[in-house]
Structure 1
């Protein structure tokens, strides 16, 4: 398909790609599949870049150096400005931990490998990723990696293969097959990595090199194909969502839809082409690269200084700022370089681009090596940031879920090595109680042991990991062989029952069961644990989980302090906590009612005294992260745990 002239409809198609991405990221729920705009960009890039390469190969004047210089001129100037701006704003707003992560991301993106970094982290759809200013650069890394290898592939295929188009199509099929195969085994790799994404760019590439038909189709064919293509793209934008297995087979909808639009409009000025060629669409398309670059950092930083989630009105105002920044970036950064008013020659742009890469990568590494430069923070912001680190030794008492020999026990109170009066058993939600346990054990003069394994609730069976089953069996054996008076069971119960609040089911034990069946199975396992402990003669204390905060809440505390905003209202209604914990609360109440030696402890009344579960009190965060208590928050649990020690008939020590 040899259509090399200026195509306003493709500029409009860029607008169709970037608008839903922006609206999706700013929380406009109607565009639940707005992320497919990236796939549209991939097809457009594959088509346009291959058109240029193919034309120059046919003319015998293709040059790798010229090609990469053009790519540097197109990509690096605006990207460098955005990376620099992210670092400046990050210096002003981010905690040391988050600023260190930003430095790392800048280093990776400067060398076009941020997709690999983000693949190793939380994943694209995880709420934790909503606070990474450079998450969106993964797609740029994929494209730049493609631009590095694809010209070599084209030169080799066209020079040494008679039927090179068939070979190119074979590479496309191989990439698509990898995408479908990998997505069931490693969804993040399928989403972020070039081998599983190359087929989308190659669809555009095939469109650029397939010969035009000898005779043209009747006009309505082009109208129908472009119309169906637009319909497919719109269906993807409105019907897919973050729970869709993507890319996988689902990516065919936006990718083939885009191919159909470009093909149909390339042969005839269709109705879709006229729509896409509207001046408003073309205008947005022209600034689409800068708009894509700016929109995500603006969203992340706006979210950081929002007391609660942004309203739709606030989102619109921030989107307006994104558009303003995009226009300025396009006019004063993109155009001067693209029109060769700045660094006009090949050597200057390549040297300048390399210098920008080296400088940004070095700055990023310095920030990373300096742990986010904690000295930036002072006063209230520093107090909030410090709360995100455990200082009391919880990590020393929390064994990792991959530990092969989970035998470690933390001991507090009087030195009674053989048999503690109290044993606290559970996952990290048992470990985060350490400051209160240690304080009460010393105050009441009773020995207490804490034994916990990350990601493992105190219930029998293999749970989701073999290590959990082995660990819990060891603890039951320990309880049976020791004269322990009280056993405390603590865990993030709802995580294993329902998964995370964002729908991530990786830690759910019964992920393939219905909600009712999952509740019944967990109830049976908790009852079995309680019965096993009671058979030893020990009392059982069931600790309900602490109220959860929304993703990003704890990092937001420092950002608010940095801009002088109060964090007193940051939190969530206790009603949301009560709703999520309803089944667990009913189960624990029934166990307590059936046996007077089974007791229930609820941290919610301490943490949510007026109906709001606040993230911070008195200028100090109650939380280390969204679900674990900070040292300060754990200290506030001393009254909650005191009845356990008092049940030992101990006399307070001082």
Structure 2
């Protein structure tokens, strides 16, 4: 296979891309949207792949085996080192449950499907829960390989099947088609579009379009430099914008990719000042090590976040320095030598660079899962914590939150299960769901059967919508409204003895509650609408013959208390409980307390359960109970804590479900 002429300006553009990404991931505010550097890489890849394949076909030298042999030896050696090193570090530092999840992500990463995996298991690429995942950045490598599996075949078939003069027109048409698809997803599937291969195809194809146009477009020197300057400014304009991530790739991605394509298309002009700048030695060097820098920088930051190391300027500087050193060593001693091995037989390449790492990552995942994340890597005290958490873990709870893949009537029922048991329905959001053990303990003593239904981030009150809420930007959270309607239809039809509503009540007191589209939004209007909706809910419940029960939200902190608790474990330090205890936040409580009291006066049957009575003492709330963490994330409590709070509640108060 023939190689194309080396373009130092393309390496310079790679440098711009990796610097965008590097500064973004470091947390520095220089490029608030520096994640767009990945989109630059996609355009460059599309250009290079298409150029190499098209020229080789034109010269009758193209070979799929040689193409994939070169690609594998170009990318896989460093990639395999990443998997090995990160796995060893995960075995050293990761908590058992986290290690199980890491091993699964490594398995998915090894088969180039990590983009789909992270789309399912994270709330989003930009979410706070994503910055501790050391392989998160491999989503882009998975998309790159997915492109390698498809684009060469398409280009080959088009080269063989259509006249040369039609090839660029077809590629351009495909670019427009997939651009339209990406823009559609950016508004109709905004929360998941970031990771989708189908949303990124147009970026590769823009690079392909550039590869198929004439190598030098005749342009006046002034016009050429003006176009290039505007294109370069467009890159920095997009990278320095804020709040463009929702629904990305979107119009900003199009602007960035067209600008990148313009710089590549005009890069052969010797009179281009921008091209000369991109071809300077410092930028070219960074471009040469950009792949290794991309591979290694994210795990460095991810482990810093995971270990709870404070993200100071000093920490960021050290992390950037370590990333650069690792990148240089990786490029010098892995990337460069590995490229010389691309002459090996393809069968050996498949064994060493695909079959072995895939097999090892799958075996690693199976072993770690079967041995529950190897908890005995830690002290006996810590092992006991994990055993307590596992013992009280409710497996079915998670499957009863959100869309159901199980028979909810049998799978999501708990409490007493006697033929003469009273019946109840528990609805709400994830705070209702995390109260499973608490209500289960009370219900068993009171001989009450509980059917649990919950929708994440959903205020389960009738007659309202959540608008511009969480990932539902500029739209209504339809699933919440539909599920809430279903709940109240069930209440009317089944005449339960109790209907229990559990919510993160204070979490909905922003400006997102409306009655209909185009309603004016404000905090006072939200409170008014919630008051009316709660009144309507209680009226529906009591009218059906049920007794309404409200569970107040557990106390929570603004910081991740699970991380606070386990920080000492990860760093092999002694834990001091007072380090993680926190003050009860009361700023929204007066209004909610007043609302609940008013409703209790109107509906005398209304039962109010407040778990904070046993969670907090004199305004100070515990982060652990019996040496076991209360929280499993920022706000949700563990099943162990849910059970222990119920026991404490029954010791101090009468069981409210015994009527």
TM-score bracket for this pair, using the shorter chain length? 0.7 to 0.9
Q: Give the paired residue count.
A: 627
| Correspondence list, 1:108-147, <5 A | 108-122=108-122, 123-147=124-148
Structure 2 vs 1, CA of residues 590 and 236 (structure 1 numbering), >3 Å: closer, same or farther?
Answer: farther
1:169 aligned to 2:172? yes
Please state how far the C-alpha of 1:470 moved relative to its aligned partner.
2.9
Once residues 188 and 488 of structure 1 are traced to their aligned partners in structure 2, the CA distance between those partners, rounded to angstroms, is 30
- For the structure 1 residues 527 and 13, does the alpha-carbon distance in structure 2 shift closer, same or farther, using more than 3 Å as the test? same
* CA distance 1:595–1:195, shift in 2 (3 Å): closer
The aligned residue for residue 265 of structure 1 is 267
Change (3 A) 1:430 1:53: closer
Change (3 A) 1:299 1:194: same
Give 5+ residue unaligned stretches, structure 2: 466-479
> Given that residues 380 and 561 in structure 1 are in contact (C-alpha distance below 8 angstroms), is that contact kept between their aligned partners in structure 2?
no
1:645 corresponds to which residue? 654
1:361 aligns with 2:358: yes
- Give, in whole Å, the separation in 1 of the partners of 2:567 and 2:363: 22
1:493 and 2:505 are equivalent in the alignment: yes
TM-score between the two structures when normalised by the length of structure 1: 0.83
- 2:471 corresponds in structure 1 to none
Identify if the C-alpha distance between structure 1 residues 67 and 619 changes in structure 2 by more than 3 Å, giving closer, same or farther. Answer: same
Contact 1:39 1:200 in 2 (8 A): yes
Which of 578, 595, 617 is the aligned partner of 1:587? 595
Query: Is 1:474 the counterpart of 2:490 in the alignment?
Result: yes
**8 Å contact kept, 2:191–2:246:** no
In the alignment, is residue 311 of structure 1 matched against residue 318 of structure 2?
no
TM-score by length of 2: 0.83
What CA RMSD, in Å, does the superposition of the two structures yield over aligned residues? 3.8
Deviation readout 1:428-462 (Å, 9 max, x if unpaired) = 534533444455567xx644443421216553459
Query: Structure 2 vs 1, CA of residues 363 and 383 (structure 1 numbering), >3 Å: closer, same or farther?
Result: farther
Match of 1:636 in 2: 645
1:248-270 CA distance string (max 9 Å, x none)? 22211211121122233331353
Q: Check conservation: 1:446, 1:645, Cα contact below 8 A.
A: no
Residues 32, 242 of structure 1: 8 Å contact kept: no
Change (3 A) 1:171 1:624: same
- Kept after mapping to 2: 8 A contact 1:429/1:491: yes
Q: Does 2:528 correspond to 1:520?
A: yes
Q: Distance in 2 between matches of 1:184 and 1:176?
A: 13
Task: Quote how far apart the aligned CAs of 1:398 are.
Answer: 7.8
> RCO higher in 1 or 2 (8 Å CA, sep ≥ 6)?
1
Contact 2:425 2:453 in 1 (8 A): no
Distance 1:209 1:274, change over 3 A: same
Alignment map for 1:266-305 (pairs within 5 Å): 266-305=268-307
Q: Structure 2 CA distance, aligned partners of 1:392 and 1:264?
A: 60
Q: Distance in 2 between matches of 1:138 and 1:475?
A: 44
Per-residue deviation, residues 526-576 of structure 1 (Å, max 9, x unmatched): 12233455668987653321234668753675564143035547758547x
**1:132 alignment partner, SS class:** coil
- Is the alpha carbon distance of 1:490 and 1:588 closer, same or farther for their aligned partners in structure 2, counting shifts above 3 Å? same
Distance 1:547 1:331 in 2: 52
Offset from partner CA, 1:35-66 (integer Å, 9 cap, x none): 10000111111222222223322322222222
Match of 1:502 in 2: none
Corresponding residue for residue 432 of structure 1: 434
1:345 maps to which residue?
343
Query: Which whole-Å CA distance do the structure 2 matches of 1:243 and 1:16 have between them?
Result: 19
- What's 2:219 paired with? 217
Q: How far apart are 1:273 and its partner, in Å?
A: 2.8
List aligned pairs for 1:130-279, cutoff 5 A.
Answer: 130-162=131-163, 163-187=166-190, 190-212=193-215, 216-241=218-243, 243-279=245-281
Counterpart CA distance in 1 for 2:658 and 2:47 is 79
Structure-2 separation of matches of 1:569 and 1:291: 40
Distance 2:42 2:293 in 1: 16
The separation in 1 between residues aligned to 2:372 and 2:223, in whole angstroms, is 63
Inter-partner Cα distance in structure 1 for 2:113 and 2:515: 34
Q: Determine the C-alpha separation between the residues in 1 that align with 2:203 and 2:239.
A: 17
Distance in 2 (alpha carbons) for counterparts of 1:597 and 1:219: 83
Contact kept, 8 Å, 2:42 with 2:203, in 1: the verdict is yes
1:174 to 1:613, Cα distance in 2 relative to 1, 3 A: farther
Matched-pair contact (CA < 8 Å) for 1:402–1:467: no
Q: Deviations over 1:350-396 (max 9, x none)?
A: 62453232222222222333453326223344345456547265736
Deviates more, 1:513-522 or 1:278-287: 513-522
Native 8 Å contact 2:40 2:256 kept in 1: yes
Relative to 1, partners in 2 of residues 1:358 and 1:559: Cα closer, same or farther, differing over 3 Å?
farther
Q: What is the Cα deviation at residue 617 of structure 1?
A: 4.7
Query: 2:631 maps to what in 1?
Result: 623
Aligned equivalents of 1:27, 1:512: Cα separation in 2: 36
Secondary structure class of the residue paired with 1:346:
coil
The 8 Å contact of residues 72 and 353 in structure 2, kept in 1 or not, is answered as no
Q: Structure 1: which 5+ runs fail to align? A: 500-504
TM-superposed deviation, 1:77: 0.7
User: Would the aligned equivalents of 2:393 and 2:640 in 1 still touch at CA under 8 Å?
Assistant: no
Q: 1:345 and 1:53 mapped to 2: Cα distance?
A: 18
Measure, in 1, the Cα distance between the counterparts of 2:40 and 2:290: 12
Q: Check the 8 A contact 1:10/1:44 in 2, yes or no.
A: yes
Q: Structure 2 CA distance, aligned partners of 1:569 and 1:300?
A: 27
Compared CA separation, residues 356 and 64, structure 1 to 2 (3 A): closer
1:151 deviates by: 2.3
* Conservation of the 8 A alpha-carbon contact between 1:9 and 1:273: yes
| 1:410 and 2:418 are equivalent in the alignment | no
Three-state SS of the structure 1 residue aligned to 2:131 is helix
Q: Is the 8 A contact 1:47 1:206 kept in 2?
A: yes
Match of 1:49 in 2: 49
Question: What displacement does 1:467 show?
Answer: 4.1
Comparing 487-496 with 178-187, greater Cα deviation is found at 487-496
SS of the equivalent of 2:274 reads helix
Looking at structure 2, the residues matched to 581 and 235 of structure 1 have their Cα atoms a distance apart, in angstroms, of 43
Whole-Å separation in 2 of the counterparts to 1:224 and 1:478: 72
Q: 1:523 to 1:450 in 2, by over 3 A?
A: same
Say which of 374, 377, 393 aligns to 1:376: 374
> Could you tell me how far apart the structure 2 residues matched to 1:238 and 1:289 are?
23
Structure 2 contact 414–449 (Cα < 8 Å) conserved: yes
With over 3 angstroms needed to count, the CA separation of the structure-2 counterparts of 1:440 and 1:150, relative to structure 1, is closer
CA deviation digits over 1:144-191, x for unaligned, max 9?
222222222222222332221111211212221221223333335533
